[in-house]
């Protein structure tokens, strides 16, 4: 077991907030999102509670968006899922994703000298020689109840922390890790604590009615770029300029005929020939 992230070590390091008060550490699991969802399904009402964090040191079947895999070598990265019981209208799920993205970006910037961008919808990216490299991704899975209210949300995040440059997988969007980007190992504990603290602050602010949209859009490297968007199912692909997002974070793409398309989910490729891909 990695002592750095053990239950007792994290308990001792976390401040007295609600996020992470219930923290579970697994040396190995299939997927933290799947394991936390299983805990919710088999638990009683409100058990596990709002703010429960489940972290694993290795995932045998880590899950990414669009049915992809999420892979990291044992003890190299941050792989965790957080349970929220928000009772919000379902459209606000995207805001939860935005605050987690912002909290992770700020935590990384505090632990390293890196500048973090967001590639729509929820990839954290680092500019390496003019090309955006992915360092983190989020997977948000919600259960909507009566009156379109979000009952539970399992928010999973993977951050590539100490993966050696030679061990990074080859993917369409190039990957990097924090260690590969700064040239030295980065403390997973410091990163985790800083992420959870910021996320709790953002969540509390959201409860008070403060929108994360402006801060999230400031980091969005996709805006103003020529993009190709593929939507889930793969039946449709839209090419054009990513002009803006709406209040819910949906991407607005203007095609060459001037028609604006609203994309709520999917993947975008930043088209080649621009400063960034
Ligand atoms: C993506 O970019 O496709 C999202 C990746 C999300 C990966 C994290 S790792 C922890 C949590 N458990 C999972 O199985 N997936 C998420």
Q: How far is the CA of 157 from the centre of ligand 1 (A)?
A: 5
- Residue 200 pLDDT greater than 80, yes or no: yes
Question: From atom 5 of ligand 1, which residue's Cα is the shortest distance away?
Answer: 64
User: What pLDDT is recorded for position 87?
Assistant: 87
Q: Is 104 in the pocket of ligand 1 (CB under 6 A)?
A: no
pLDDT in tens, 70-79: 999 999 999 9
Residue 273: its pLDDT value, please?
44
Q: How far is the CA of 9 from the centre of ligand 1 (A)?
A: 24
Distance CA 228, CA 240 (A): 7
Residue 233: what pLDDT?
A: 66
Answer whether 31 contacts ligand 1 (Cβ < 6 A).
yes
pLDDT at 275 over 90: no
Helices and strands (H, E) in the chain, number of each type: 6, 13
pTM, full prediction: 0.94
pLDDT tens-digit map of 221-266: 999 999 988 876 666 789 999 999 999 999 999 999 999 999 988 7
d(C-alpha 125, C-alpha 133), whole Å:
5
- Residue 274: the pLDDT is 46
Q: Which pLDDT score, from 0 to 100, does residue 107 have?
A: 98
Q: What is the mean pLDDT of the chain?
A: 91
Work out the average pLDDT over 135-148: 93
| 117-133 mean pLDDT | 93
Report the pLDDT value the prediction gives residue 234, as an integer from 0 to 100.
62
- Mention every residue, 6+ apart, whose C-beta is less than 8 A from residue 131: 174, 276, 277
Pairing label, strands 53-56, 23-26: parallel
């Amino acid at each position: 077991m990695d002592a750095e992230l053990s239950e007792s070590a994290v308990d001792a390091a976390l401040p007295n907030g609600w996020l992470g008060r219930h923290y579970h550490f697994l040396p190995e699991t299939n997927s933290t999102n799947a394991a936390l969802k299983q805990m919710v399904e088999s638990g009683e009402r409100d058990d596990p509670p709002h703010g429960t964090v489940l972290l694993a040191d290795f995932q045998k079947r880590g899950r990414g968006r669009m049915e992809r895999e999420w892979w990291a070598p044992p003890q190299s990265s941050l792989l965790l899922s957080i349970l929220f019981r928000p009772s919000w209208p379902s459209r606000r799920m995207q805001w939860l994703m935005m605050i987690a993205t912002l909290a992770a970006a700020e935590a990384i910037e505090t632990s390293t000298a890196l500048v973090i961008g967001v590639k729509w919808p929820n990839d954290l990216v680092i500019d390496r020689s003019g090309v955006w490299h992915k360092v983190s991704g989020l997977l948000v899975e919600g259960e909507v109840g009566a009156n379109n209210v979000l009952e539970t949300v399992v928010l999973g995040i993977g951050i590539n922390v100490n993966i050696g440059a030679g061990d990074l997988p080859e993917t369409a969007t190039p990957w990097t890790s924090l260690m590969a980007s700064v040239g030295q190992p980065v403390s997973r504990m410091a990163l985790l604590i800083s992420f959870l603290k910021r996320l709790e602050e953002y969540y509390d602010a959201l409860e008070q009615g403060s929108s994360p949209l402006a801060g999230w859009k400031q980091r969005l490297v996709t805006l103003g770029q020529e993009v190709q968007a593929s939507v889930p199912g793969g039946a449709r692909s839209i090419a054009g300029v990513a002009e803006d997002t709406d209040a819910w974070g949906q991407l607005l793409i203007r095609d060459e005929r001037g028609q604006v398309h609203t994309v709520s989910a999917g993947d975008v490729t930043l088209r080649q020939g621009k400063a960034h891909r």
